Chains A and B, each alone.
Chain A
Amino acid sequence: MAKTRSLRWSLPALLLAGQAHATEIQFNMTPGVTDISQQVYNLHMTIFWICCAIGLVVFTAMFVSIILHRKSRGVTPATFHESTKVEIIWTAIPVLILILMAIPATRVLIAMEDTSDSDVTVLVTGSQWRWHYEYLDYDIDFFSILATPRGQIEGRLPKGQNYLLEVDRPLVIPTGKKIRFLMTSDDVIHSWWVPAFAIKKDTNPGFINEAWTRVNEPGIYRGQCAELCGMDHGFMPIVVIAKEPDDFAEWVEQEEARIAAIREEEQRLLALRMNLDEQMELGERVYLAHCAACHQPNGTGLPPMFPALKDNHVTTQDRAEHIRVMVDGRPGTSMASFARQLSLRELTSVITYTRNAWGNDTGDVVQAVEVYEYMQSKGE
């Protein structure tokens, strides 16, 4: 009894504490959780105070002049102008201040650029509007997409504490190790930004950028895409969980097992026949998470950029084309390939869903084996 009560009291207290933290107004840059981010913060504050000092001198002179040297006080204007001595002084002093600023700035910049001797390498790939993480040292890769429900965005549900800064699968990295990030993109330019690490690096399609971090404290760190990348630029957050090396090793094991299990299930699935209800239920979930941003929850799309799926030739008639588009994407448009983004089960269900939702009513029940065969036929 006593135990339940303490639990009942502590839970809301915990939630409240969390919320108070979220709404606490932050005025300044975060010092972050890495040595580099701390150096960046210190540099920021140094430059900031120097700028304040310069501002103070200039504005004091100006306001003293405004107060004392006004016509209403009956002053007569002086006639002095041009003074080489004064001009040299106010050119030389700023140059000296700038040199003082440039020295620590150069030091920090060079430290940030050294990506050698890393322990773990993660390939970060941006695409409209999700992140893909691939661990080059392990057999792990996955997509990371916004987890905030549309209801919260549209105001039908109360907004959660991490509104717009939450994802379905966060990136997990070990603390104390040097993590090297390789950055690229599948479509437009995105920018991978985690303020707590002081990393912001553009992901350029066709090119690879590098960055690195060494996180000192375990925790959850959140960031966002920082380069305008189209319609849902504001809806592609980044969440990184830093774990102690032992916990990280455990996570790697679990994740590898999970991915192996999915592959096994895919093989089993090929022999199975899924019924319509089952597929509609899963398909709707997948659709809302992955497709609705462009094609809209009711399938009407935003033509001409994002075509309607309702009453569409492909989704109501051409079944083979439908599977092809889902697996290959449409090159040169925002329609990405979903072959790697979704499991076979999800892929199959979402095709079935779009062939039967919003009055498309084809009655088609696509089976996993059909999709699988197409993928095999092109050597996926």
Chain B
Amino acid sequence: MSTVTTADHHDAHHDHKPTGIKRWLFTTNHKDIGSLYLLFALAMFFLGGAMAMVIRLELFQPGMQFVEPQFFNQMTTMHGLIMVFGAVMPAFTGLANWMIPMMIGAPDMALPRMNNWSFWILPFAFLILIISMFLPGGGPDFGWTFYAPLSTTYSNDSTALFVFAIHIMGISSIMGAINVIVTIVNMRAPGMTWMKLPLFVWTWLITAFLLIMVMPVLAGLVTMVLTDKYFATSFFDAAGGGDPVLFQHIFWFFGHPEVYIMILPAFGIISAIVPTFARKKLFGYASMVYATASIAILSFLVWAHHMFTTGMPVYATLFFMYTTMLIAVPTGVKVFNWVATMWRGAMTFEVPMMFALAFIVLFTIGGLSGVMLAIAPVDFQYHDTYFVVAHFHYVLVSGAVFSLVAAAYYWLPKWTGHMYDEKLGQLHFWCSVISVNLLFFPMHFVGLAGMPRRIPDYALQFADFNAFISVGGFLFGLSQLIFVWVLVKCIRGGEKAPAKPWEGAEGLEWEVPSPAPYHTFDTPPQVK
């Protein structure tokens, strides 16, 4: 995943980068920063995953066996925060750093010093968050959604650290987003018109706008939590004229676009991989761009579908039910487009394609359960049960994470100059795709049968399913170790990769040698 060992001889003649730790601390190179983001995300993925293993261990059997309920709540909270803000979002930013300049024919990101800064504050944010777990009373235990007043009046003092950590993560995301927008708007190579941009660039551009719009909302919200807790304001306290439900409105006004922040770039990745391995042009490029934009706009009009049980007026409930259902239309357009792209293509099934195909199937399942959840009267039964947990893990794990893994396999030859081990990759794929379904599919059943989420212990009729789910969870966790093995092997050596290792691939990134030199497109290419 990095160009450390091989890049030097390509461009030593005009590059004087420092070596050792200084290279990584002071780097303004988009490829180095991309690698840092990706490695950081991978580390956080395993940390958050380890917490999920603790959760599944405790839930393996009914009764309290391994942890206390309070620690269990810390695990579910930290798992959510780390996976959302530490794994998925930085991984997409890493891909943006690596790929966007190469895809649009730019020499680097537009604001390289800010780029360095936006990565390097991130580890400190997570350091603060993780340290908070070792304070007396423990870390955040109010769920990643931190509903007030559980997170204000009734939380422990780690909340202050939690708020500070979220602020830093937000600043990092906003700087990253500004960089992406400025780069795409200003630094496209001559001839790279808007409707020629690769879809990954388009989806990231739209994602960056979402980030800039909603991260400040989150920052405002955590600040309100801080002042409610420590400075006697009453934003969310009815006794002082506030309203706890206001918290949820603000949170989900951030939270729903946030969901699309984690899935739109995934759409871009799948739209790059499917045409490559089907050896056929993407069926409807323009409609994909418009569908992405409509999903982004709709994402601001659906937030209260997370809040159907809070006692909203019936007309508000109806409004949010209808707008939520509407999102199925542009999302459907995307899925149909991918299938139409495969149709009468000439497909091969290398690891990136396998993950992309699994993405389409499993993301569609998660999308369909999303349509079910949109139906307000039935959502009263689904809400806050394992059915919801199943839904969002289908879209986030077998959706966003699978797309990230597919992207890694797809661009590894470009990053390292080596082909990954296809056999090991296929093993990783099959282990992952089987275990992810063992893990998350039974959650639909156990949720419909009535098991609430975020409970450390459960009634006996849920026991069989939970044992099964836990086994699936452990297998999925183990399967990801194969991925690390593949990565290490590929970074250290392997078959030399040509500039364009995939027969059907298109795009500027395949016109530079593999591994990509430290500096690419010093003179902009001419795009026809």
Tell whether A87 pairs with B378 under 8 Å between CB atoms, given A110-B314, A201-B311.
no
Tell whether A105 pairs with B450 under 8 Å between CB atoms, given A62-B361, A200-B384.
no
Question: Would you call A102 and B381 a contact (CB within 8 A)?
Answer: no
Question: Would you call B346 and A188 a contact (CB within 8 A)?
Answer: no
Question: Would you call B342 and A66 a contact (CB within 8 A)?
Answer: yes
Question: Would you call A303 and B136 a contact (CB within 8 A)?
Answer: yes
* Bound Cα distance from A188 to B146, whole angstroms: 12
User: For the complex, is B243 an interface residue (Cβ under 8 Å from A)?
Assistant: yes
User: For the complex, is B18 an interface residue (Cβ under 8 Å from A)?
Assistant: no
Tell whether A81 pairs with B368 under 8 Å between CB atoms, given A24-B461, A191-B309, A230-B154.
no
B residues in contact with A152, CB < 8 Å:
63
Chain A contact residue count (CB 8 A cutoff): 102
Question: Would you call B332 and A109 a contact (CB within 8 A)?
Answer: no
* Bound Cα distance from A300 to B369, whole angstroms: 45
Which one of A22, A94, A165, A188 lies within 8 Å of B150 (CB-CB)? A188
Tell whether A225 pairs with B452 under 8 Å between CB atoms, given A24-B461, A72-B348.
yes
Interface readout for A297-337 with B: 1 if CB under 8 Å, 0 if not? 00000111100000000000000000000000000111000
A153 CB, nearest partner CB in chain B, Å: 6
A151 CB, nearest partner CB in chain B, Å: 10
Question: Would you call A65 and B147 a contact (CB within 8 A)?
Answer: no
A residues in contact with B62, CB < 8 Å:
159, 163-164
* Bound Cα distance from A235 to B335, whole angstroms: 42
At the interface with chain B, which of A26-34, A258-266, A346-354, A370-378? A26-34
B residues in contact with A110, CB < 8 Å:
314
User: For the complex, is B175 an interface residue (Cβ under 8 Å from A)?
Assistant: no
Interface residues of B in 137-187 (CB under 8 A from A): 137, 141-143, 147, 149-150, 153-154, 156-157
* Bound Cα distance from A125 to B461, whole angstroms: 28
User: For the complex, is B4 an interface residue (Cβ under 8 Å from A)?
Assistant: no
User: For the complex, is A101 an interface residue (Cβ under 8 Å from B)?
Assistant: yes
At the interface with chain A, which of B122-130, B317-325, B410-418, B477-485? B317-325
Question: Would you call B345 and A200 a contact (CB within 8 A)?
Answer: no
Which one of B63, B243, B282, B448 lies within 8 Å of A81 (CB-CB)? B282
Question: Would you call B333 and A40 a contact (CB within 8 A)?
Answer: no
User: For the complex, is A2 an interface residue (Cβ under 8 Å from B)?
Assistant: no
B residues in contact with A79, CB < 8 Å:
280-281
Question: Would you call B345 and A51 a contact (CB within 8 A)?
Answer: no
Question: Would you call A77 and B459 a contact (CB within 8 A)?
Answer: no
Tell whether A87 pairs with B348 under 8 Å between CB atoms, given A28-B449, A65-B342, A112-B377.
no
B residues in contact with A94, CB < 8 Å:
328-329, 332
Question: Would you call B314 and A82 a contact (CB within 8 A)?
Answer: no
Question: Would you call B136 and A304 a contact (CB within 8 A)?
Answer: yes
List the A residue with the shortest CB-CB distance to B147.
A189
Which one of A62, A198, A223 lies within 8 Å of B380 (CB-CB)? A198
Tell whether A82 pairs with B284 under 8 Å between CB atoms, given A28-B449, A102-B325, A210-B311.
yes
At the interface with chain B, which of A52-60, A282-290, A355-363? A52-60
Tell whether A78 pairs with B461 under 8 Å between CB atoms, given A30-B450, A201-B311, A225-B452.
no
Interface residues of A in 221-248 (CB under 8 A from B): 223-235
Q: Would you mind naming 26 contact pairs between A and B with Cβ atoms under 8 Å apart?
A: A24-B461, A25-B465, A27-B445, A27-B448, A29-B449, A30-B450, A40-B381, A47-B375, A69-B343, A72-B348, A75-B344, A77-B278, A77-B345, A78-B343, A82-B286, A83-B284, A105-B378, A110-B314, A195-B381, A198-B377, A198-B380, A202-B309, A207-B245, A224-B455, A228-B143, A304-B157
Given A102-B325, A200-B383, 19 further pairs, Cβ under 8 A: A24-B461, A28-B449, A47-B372, A47-B378, A55-B364, A61-B343, A62-B360, A65-B342, A65-B344, A71-B348, A81-B284, A102-B321, A102-B322, A153-B457, A209-B311, A224-B450, A230-B150, A234-B452, A305-B156
In the complex, the 10 A-B pairs of residues with the closest C-beta atoms, listed nearest first: A206-B238, A234-B455, A209-B311, A78-B344, A26-B449, A51-B368, A108-B377, A71-B346, A226-B384, A77-B346
